[in-house]
Amino acid sequence: MLLRLAPFIFVLIWSGAFVAARGGLPDFTPWAILTCRFFVAAMLLAALALLIKENEPDWRAYKERWVGVVGAGILMNGLYLGLFFTAMLELPAANVALIGSLTPLLTAALSGPILGEHFKPSQWVGFVLGIIGVSFVVGIDYITLDAGTGIMAALVGVVSLTLGTLWHARVARGLPLLATNSLQMAASAVFCFFIMLVAEEPRIEFTQASIIAFAYLTVGVSLGAMGLYLLMLRHGAAGKVAANFYLTPGTAAVLAFIILGETLAWEALVGLLAATLGVWLVQKPSFLKDKSRS
């Protein structure tokens, strides 16, 4: 049941991160908040793994794979989110969302030579339709080349998430989920800490908005959404799993309308519908029917 609901829950939680980040970003610097967020998430995941007595891996047998897990975790968490937070300091969230929509297409393109995954023509149509849907959500008029640094940060973030996803799918099959996620969060915390020391003057102001944003991004996204993402990668093709990112901009627009009272344009609803159709084309048959590699 959890596997069937995982894509829907993931999209809802991940979309809420845009609303949370938008509300709290003025109160903290990107790398500082990510350092704290990943550290707390790593501790909570480790405690949960001990509480439910998750099976410990044979560390000697998995030594080489755990090194890959750490690298993939830093790419998917620390570098990707750090670059996207940095991009949002210079770009509207819509620009960042549009650039982020390249992730599923790039993941699908590289999953063939790296993982041996193959997609039908109808699925490639779904990937393209997803990008078109996201473009409608954010609005074509948002596309601008003025903020070159922000655009470059977002593009590198897309590459980072894509490579991290593929690397994780390759090395983490069969490893315990909570221990894997905890190790990746801890490694990301260390990575972000060192980037923080050289890239910014750390600042965290404890306002109501920043506290709510931190709690949601740590517990909801780092624990909940990322855990579901890793679970889906364990049971499905990387390209299909990444396609769920097409739905996040449209869902975020709806949540912003409900929670923040922002305007919800008809183009956003059309885009969300197009992206949903695109994801359906990519996902059928459902990733649950794929041959499990676990």
Q: Is residue 198 part of a domain?
A: yes
Assigned domain for 257 exists: yes
Q: Does the residue 68 lie in any domain?
A: yes
Is residue 225 in a domain?
A: yes
Of 136, 76, 117, the C-alpha closest to 240 is: 117
Q: Is 100 inside any structural domain?
A: yes
- pTM value? 0.77
Give Cβ neighbours of residue 248 (< 8 Å, ≥ 6 apart): 11, 14, 15, 18, 97, 100
Q: Hey, which residues does 204 pair with through a beta bridge?
A: 28
Instruction: Classify the C-alpha dihedral 253-255-260-266 as positive or negative.
Output: positive
What pLDDT is recorded for position 2? 64
**Residue 221 is assigned to a structural domain of this protein:** yes
Number of structural domains in the chain: 1
Distance CA 134, CA 97 (A): 8
Domain that holds residue 162: 2-289
Q: Indicate whether 294 belongs to any domain.
A: no
User: What pLDDT is stored for residue 72 in this prediction?
Assistant: 93
206, part of any domain: yes
Write out the chain's pLDDT in tens, 294 residues.
Answer: 666 778 788 888 877 877 776 666 667 888 998 999 999 999 999 898 888 876 665 556 566 688 888 999 999 999 998 998 888 777 766 667 767 777 877 887 787 777 777 777 887 788 888 778 777 766 654 445 555 677 888 889 989 999 998 888 888 877 888 888 899 999 999 999 999 999 888 888 888 878 888 888 888 888 888 888 888 877 766 667 777 777 777 777 777 777 766 666 777 678 778 878 877 777 765 443 444 443
CA atoms of 277 and 129, how far apart (whole Å): 8
pLDDT recorded at residue 163: 92
